[in-house]
Amino acid sequence: MTSFVDEGLMPTYAPAPVRFVRGEGSWLWDEDGKRYLDFLSGIAVTSLGHCHPRVTEAVRSQAGRLWHVSNLFHNELAPRLAVRIDELVGGGGKVFFSNSGAEANEAAIKLARRFGGHGRHRIIAAYNSFHGRTLAALAATGQPSKWEGFQPLPEGFVHVPYGDISALDAALDGSVAAVMLEAIQGEGGVVVAPNGYLAEVARLCQQRGALVILDEVQTGLGRTGRWFAFQYERIRPDVVTMAKALGNGMPIGACWARSEIADLFVPGDHATTYGGQPLACSAALATLEVMQSQDVPRRAGQAGGALAAALGRLETIREVRGRGLLLGAVLQPDGPDAKEVASRCLGMGLVVNALGKDVIRLAPSLLVAPEEIEVGVGILGAALEAAPEG
C-alpha cells in the first residue's frame, strides 16, 4: 500500500490519503490512475478547470519570454491586468498585486491604517470570518481556534456578529478606520449575509467616514454568478481583495482600492518581491480573458442553480446555502458528520471538503458540465446513504 508520510513537510496539514498527479477540466487522477471529479477546485482556485488550454498556453509562452522582473522596473503585463481588474470591480481604482489572499488582505489592512491615521486604526470584522493566516489577517479572522496559541496578535481588531447591522452600528465609532467583511463567509460554512446587509454596512461606513473592505478572495471572479459577490447589492466598496481564482492556480492575489484611497500609499510604503511579476500576470490575464469571452460568471450562476436544485432533492441534505458555484450542503443532524461524508466521497471518486461538523462545501469548476453535476450529486447522495465503515 502506498505510504502517505510526507516526512520533509512541517505538519501543518492533515492531508487525505490520496496523491493527485494530473488534472484536466473538472477531473483529477491519482498515481494509481483512479479518476476523481473535482468539486472543490483547490478551494475555489481552478475556476476554469485544471490545466485550461488557454491559460496553460499563455503561461507556456510567457515562461519562454520573461518570468520575473523586480517592481524596481516596469513590466508590460501588471498594468494591463490592473486595468482589467479595475473594470471588473467597477472602475475608478488601482491595484496592488500580491501572491496570496492573506497578503492581499495585509495590503488592505495597511491601507486602512494609513487612511485612518493616529487614533483611528481599528478594524471591525465579523465573527466566524476567515481572512488568512498571516498575523494581521489572522487578527481579522473571527475564529479564535485559528489564532489562540499565536498571540499577541496585532492590536486593533474588533469582531461583531455577521449580518447584525445594529451590532455593527454600535461598534462603528470614531476609532474605526474600516469594516472588513467577506461577501459570503466561505471557510465559516458558506454563510450568505442577509439581503441588504452589505448595502447597509456601506451606508453606515460612508456616514461615519470608515472604509468598506470586502474580502472576495474566495467569492470573487465569477464564482457566485457575478464577477464579485458584492455586486448582488450594487454597492461601491472602498477596497476589494481577491486571489484564488485570479490565476486559475497560478499564485497571485490583488488588493484593489478606490484611487483616492490607493494614492495614500507612496513608494516604499508596501512591497512584495513577486507581486505583479509577468509569469503570474500572464496566467491571470488569460484567466480573465476566458472568463469574459465565455461569459463565465453567468454560466456559473446557471450551473450553480442546477447544482443547488439537485442537492436540494437529496433528503439527507437539510439546507443548501451559498450563491452560484460556492455552495454549502448542510447535513441532517442524525446523519454522518461532514468529515466522514467527505472521506466517503473521496473513496467514491468525488473531491469535496467538510466545513465544521455538518457542512460539505461544493466549489466545482465554473465550466462544470450538466453531466458532471449529475455524477457529483449522485456520488454525494450515495456517500450520505452509505453504511458507516468499521
Which residues contact ligand PLP (rule: CB under 6 A)? 43, 100-102, 105, 130-132, 182, 186-187, 215, 217-218, 243
> Could you confirm whether 115 is annotated as catalytic?
no
Grid coordinates belonging to 197: 446587509
- Residue placing its CB nearer to ligand PLP in the complex, 43 or 135: 43
- Nearest approach, Cβ of 246 to ligand PLP (angstroms)? 10
Range list of H helices, 124-225: 135-140, 144-147, 165-171, 197-208
Q: Which residues of the chain form beta strands (DSSP E)? A: 20-24, 27-30, 35-38, 93-98, 122-126, 157-160, 176-182, 184-185, 191-192, 211-215, 239-242, 253-258, 317-323, 326-331, 350-351, 353-355, 359-362
Minimum distance of ligand PLP from residue 63's CB (angstroms): 22
Q: Which is nearer to ligand PLP, 215 or 233 (CB)?
A: 215
Report in angstroms how near the CB of residue 86 gets to ligand PLP at its nearest.
20
Q: Of 249 and 336, which has the nearer Cβ to ligand PLP?
A: 249
Distances (CA, A) of 260 to 92, 151, 238, 263: 9, 34, 9, 5
Query: How near is the Cβ of 168 to ligand PLP at its closest, in Å?
Result: 18
Annotated catalytic residue within 97, 130, 228, 230 = 130
Q: Report the residue number, 223 or 344, with the smaller CB distance to ligand PLP.
A: 223
CA distance 112 to 40: 32
Q: How far apart are CA 108 and CA 317, in angstroms?
A: 37
CB of 46 to ligand PLP, least distance (A): 14
Contacting residues for 365 by C-beta, under 8 A, at least 6 apart:
25, 26, 38, 41, 46, 47, 48, 49, 50
Cell of 193: 449575509
What does the block give as the cell for 304? Answer: 450553480
**Of 222, 380, 245, which is closest to residue 307 (Cα–Cα)?**
380
CB closer to ligand PLP, 218 vs 282:
218
Residue nearest to ligand PLP (CB): 101
Encoded amino acid at 11, one letter: P
Quote the least distance from Cβ 183 to ligand PLP, whole Å.
Answer: 9
For ligand PLP, give the closer residue by CB, 132 or 336: 132
Decide if 96 is catalytic. no
296, 166 in Cβ contact below 8 A?
no
From CA 144, how far away is CA 34, in angstroms rounded? 38
Catalytic-residue membership of 30: no
Closest distance to ligand PLP from the beta carbon of 352 (Å): 15
Nearer to ligand PLP, 134 or 294 (CB): 134
Q: Which of 38, 86, 215, 358 is catalytic?
A: 215
* Contact (Cβ atoms closer than 8 angstroms) between residue 379 and residue 40: no
Taking residue 164's Cβ as centre, other Cβ atoms within 10 Å add up to 15
**Residues recognised as catalytic:** 130, 215, 244
